[in-house]
Structure 1
Amino acid sequence: MTDTDRIVHIVDDDEGIRQSIGFMLRKAGHFVKTYTSGTEFLAVVDREMRGCILLDVRMPGIDGLEVQDRLSSHGIALPVIMLTGHGDVTLAVRAIKAGALEFLEKPFERAALLAAIDAAFKHAARDKRDHVASADAVVRLAALTPRERDVLDGMVLGRPNKLIAFDLGIATRTVEVHRANLMDKVHARSLSDVLRIAFAAGLGEAA
C-alpha cells in the first residue's frame, strides 16, 4: 500500500477534535488531511481519492450520514469510520447499514481508533485487489465470441455439456470445442479457474 493509500481524511466541524486526532495520527505515522465540514470535503472528494474517512455524524449543514449517502451515490467507496459525541444507537445502525465500517463514540480510546483505521486500510486494500481482478476478468471475457459466451453462461449455471448443447441447439461436440477455446482464451486451466474469472466479471450475479 502506498503513502497516498494511507491518508486519513478527518471531517469534523470541531477544530479541537481535528487538531487532537490529527496530532495523534501523525504521531502514529499516518498522513492526515482535515476538513471543517461535509460540504468542504464533498467539494474535493472524487473516485481517485485514496485512504479512509473519519466522519463526524453531527455537523451543521450536511451531516455525516448525508455525506455517506452522497459518496455512495457517486460510486466513491472510501472506507468510512463514523464519529459521534452522542450515544445514538439509531444513528449507529443507519451508518453501519449504509456501509460504515465502524462507529466510534467520543471520547474514544487511542487504541480503538488506530485499530479501526488499520481495519479500514485493510478493507480498502481488499477492495482495490477485487477491483483489479474484476477489471482483468472483464478484459479476458471480452475476447470471447458470442457463442463462447453462450457456452460460458451455461457453465456458470452449472449445466453439463449435453444440456448446454440442447439449450443452444448445437452438438455436444461443438460445445466441447467452444469450451476448450474459451478456456484457452481466458487462460484457465480448469473449470474452477473459468468460474472464478466469470464470477469476478459479474456473471451469475442475478442467479
Structure 2
Amino acid sequence: MSADPTVFVVDDDEAVRDSIRVLLETSGFRVEDFGSPADFLSSDAPGRPGCLLVDVRMPGMSGLEVQLHLAETGSALPVIVITGHGDVPLAVQAMKAGAVDFVQKPFDEEIILTAVRTALDRAERQRGRSCPPEVLNRLATLTPRERDVLEGLVAGRPNKVIAHHLSISPRTVEIHRARVMDKMRAESLPRLVRMALEAGVVPKGD
C-alpha cells in the first residue's frame, strides 16, 4: 500500500462522486471514493494519510456522525463536509467539531481544490510533528505480531476483522491488543491510535 496522501470521497450520489473524482484527479490528487459511510469505515482508509470529503446528509449515517466516529477512534484524517441547500447549520456544527472546511452544492471547483489543499497541508503538519522518543522506544518493544495487530487497530478494523486478516482467533487478537495497550502505556484505544500515528505507523494493504 502506498503511503501517498489520498483524498477519500464519501457520498451516496454517484454523479457527485464522479464529478469530484474527475476534478481532483485532473488536478493531480490521488482519489478513492465510497458510496456509503459503512463502506468507508470498514476499509483501511481511516488509518491512511490524506483527507476526507464527506456528504453531510446520507442514509443511515450522516457526515457529522462519520466525523465523530473518526475522532472517537483516533483517526487523524482532516474532514471537509459537503453540504446541500439548507445544510449550513449542520456544516457549522461539523466545523465546531473540528472539520477543516465545508463546501456547498453546486460546487465551485476552486473552492473544493483550496479546501483539499488546506486539509492535506494540515495532515502533513500533523504527521510532521515530532514524536516523543519514549513512544518510539515503546513501539520498538512490540513483537511482529503485536505490530500487525496495532496496524489493524490504526486502520480502524474490529478484532474479528483483524483476526481474519491475520488468520488467528479473535481471542488471540484480544490478548495481543491488551499487550500492545500495556507496552505502549495507552489508557484508551483513541490514545493508542494517536500515538501510533504520531510514530508513523501506517497499516499495510491487504
Indicate the TM-score class for this superposition, using the shorter chain for normalisation: 0.5 to 0.7
The reply to whether residue 51 of structure 1 matches residue 50 of structure 2 is yes
Which amino acid letter does the alignment assign opposite residue 132 of structure 2? Answer: A
Q: CA RMSD in A?
A: 2.3
**Per-residue CA shift, 1:53-85, capped at 9, x if unaligned?**
000000001111111111111000101010011
Secondary structure, counterpart of 1:122 in structure 2: helix
Checking the alignment, whether the CA contact within 8 Å between 1:11 and 1:34 is kept in structure 2 is yes
**Per-residue CA shift, 1:1-26, capped at 9, x if unaligned?**
xx743211000000000111101111
1:45–1:72 Cα change, 3 Å = farther
Contiguous gaps of at least 5 residues in structure 2: 138-206
> TM-score, structure 1 length as denominator?
0.62
Match of 1:134 in 2: 131
Matches within 5 A, 1:60-139: 60-130=59-129, 133-136=130-133
1:58–1:23 Cα change, 3 Å = same
Checking the alignment, whether the CA contact within 8 Å between 1:7 and 1:32 is kept in structure 2 is yes
Report the Cα distance in structure 2 between the residues aligned to 1:58 and 1:14, rounded to whole angstroms: 11
Moved over 6 A (4+): none
1:5–1:135 Cα change, 3 Å = farther
Checking the alignment, whether the CA contact within 8 Å between 2:10 and 2:34 is kept in structure 1 is yes
Checking the alignment, whether the CA contact within 8 Å between 2:46 and 2:75 is kept in structure 1 is yes
Higher relative contact order (Cα pairs below 8 Å, separated by 6+ residues): 2
Residues matched between the structures, number: 139
Q: Percent identity?
A: 45
> TM-score, structure 2 length as denominator?
0.62
1:42–1:138 Cα change, 3 Å = closer
Match of 2:34 in 1: 35
Moved more, 33-42 or 3-12: 3-12
